Amino acid sequence: MTIFTNFLRSLLLTTIFSFVVPMFLVGGFLLLLSLVGHIPGLQRIAEAIATQIIHFLATFGSGTPLRGLLVISLTCSFVGALFDIYAYYRCQILRIDS
């Protein structure tokens, strides 16, 4: 029974971290662009890059950047969960074979 609870704990943590990481990456990059925008001469470049990121997120979110970020985060979460399930399955197979 402890193997199953360990698997569920691992699956839950993997799903949560895989959901949160894209949000932190995009948010951190936009924050970095905001800080770079205060440097004279780089304002237009930082604004252009931030605008392109917002448009990219809006593409996945049917016009809303926040919804696009949620869609990307949910997709990463799903892929992370699938990878965790595969790794658990593979570990069980290797344990049985040896």
The pLDDT tens digits for 42-91 are: 999 999 999 999 999 999 999 999 999 999 999 999 999 999 999 999 88
Burial level of 69, CB count in 10 A (0-12/13-18/19+)?
buried
More confident residue, 34 or 95: 34
pTM above 0.75, yes or no: yes
98 pLDDT above the threshold of 70 = no
40 pLDDT above the threshold of 80 = yes
